Amino acid sequence: MIAFVIEDERDQRNLVREELEEAGWTVEVAEDGIAALGRIRRVQPDVILLDLKMPRLDGIQMLQMLRSNVVERAIPVIITTGSEVASCVRLLANCVLMKPFSSDELTQALASCTGGPSDGGASRGG
């Protein structure tokens, strides 16, 4: 399974990437929404982890764009943020993870949002 991490803070982006790869996920990363847009369309990830506060195209704008596209609307989105999330954003997202979050919280959110095991498909041979 493929996870797409959109996070402007390099250390956070790398930490999440490492945790996901250790759990068996294939991981794509981008530093903001602009960098992610075209790549999401090509990769068609199984889940997107999206930071809210980013330069150029923030998470709220990105989430609105994803939800307005017929194909991308179906991709589960986990919002990652260190600040309170408005209820309208919660309605558009599948899950919200408050930073800092633990590896267990990440695993639980992935399992909940993708409707499958939290190991990225490793236990299914993929």
Q: Which of 78, 68, 82, 80 is nearest to 37 (CA)?
A: 68
In a domain, 70, yes or no: yes
In a domain, 74, yes or no: yes
pLDDT given for residue 118 in this prediction: 52
pTM: 0.86
In a domain, 122, yes or no: no
* Average pLDDT of the residues of the chain: 86
Local structure of residue 84 (DSSP, 8 states): -
In a domain, 112, yes or no: no
pLDDT given for residue 40 in this prediction: 94
In a domain, 119, yes or no: no
In a domain, 75, yes or no: yes
In a domain, 120, yes or no: no
Domain boundaries, position 7: 2-94
The pLDDT tens digits of the residues spanning 12-70 come to: 999 999 999 999 999 999 999 899 988 999 999 999 999 988 888 888 889 999 999 88
Residues in the chain: 126
pLDDT given for residue 14 in this prediction: 96
Structural domains in the chain (count)? 1
CATH number of 30's domain: 3.40.50.2300
